[in-house]
C-alpha cells in the first residue's frame, strides 16, 4: 500500500512566520529512518509498505510532531492494492510513459 500523509502541529507560536518546518523535519526523519520506500514533497510524504508497517511509521511520525504544539493535524490518503509492490515509482513511470506516448 501507499500512504500519502501530512502532519503538522498547531497551537504553536515558536516561529514568527508561522512555519512548522522543524516539526515536519522531525516527522520526516522518522519516515526516512524507517527504511520503507518514501518520498517527501512540499505538501505530503508518501510511504510504501504493508498496512502495519506504514501505519506504525505514520503513528511514530505524528508522535514526533507532538512536542511542537498543543494540537496535531493529520491528513491521510491511502492506495491499497494487494499484490503490488514498488508502486511508489511504478505509478509515476507509467504516467510519464503515457504522457510521452500521447505527445503531450
CATH of the domain at 44: 3.30.70.930
Q: Mean pLDDT across the chain, nearest whole number?
A: 92
Asked whether residue 14 carries a pLDDT value surpassing 80, the answer given is no
The whole domain housing 30 covers 2-102
Q: What is the pLDDT of residues 83-101, one digit of tens each?
A: 999 999 999 999 999 999 9
Q: What is the pLDDT of residues 67-76, one digit of tens each?
A: 999 999 999 9
Domain count, the chain: 1
Q: Residue 2: which of 61, 44, 65, 33 has the closest Cα?
A: 44
Q: Residue 57: which of 76, 41, 36 has the closest Cα?
A: 36
Residue 31 DSSP SS3:
helix
Q: Which residue has the cell 513511470?
A: 93
Amino acid at each position: 500500500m501507499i500512504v500519502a500523509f501530512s502532519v503538522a502541529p498547531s497551537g504553536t507560536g515558536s516561529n514568527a512566520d508561522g512555519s512548522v518546518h522543524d516539526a515536519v523535519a522531525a516527522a520526516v526523519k522518522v519516515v526516512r529512518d524507517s527504511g520503507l520506500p518514501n518520498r517527501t514533497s512540499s505538501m505530503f510524504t508518501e510511504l510504501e509498505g504493508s498496512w502495519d508497517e506504514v501505519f506504525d511509521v505514520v503513528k511514530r511520525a505524528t508522535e514526533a510532531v507532538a512536542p511542537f504544539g498543543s494540537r496535531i493535524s493529520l491528513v491521510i490518503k491511502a492506495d491499497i492494492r494487494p499484490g503490488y509492490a514498488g508502486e511508489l515509482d511504478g505509478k509515476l513511470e507509467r504516467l510519464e510513459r503515457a504522457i510521452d506516448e500521447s505527445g503531450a
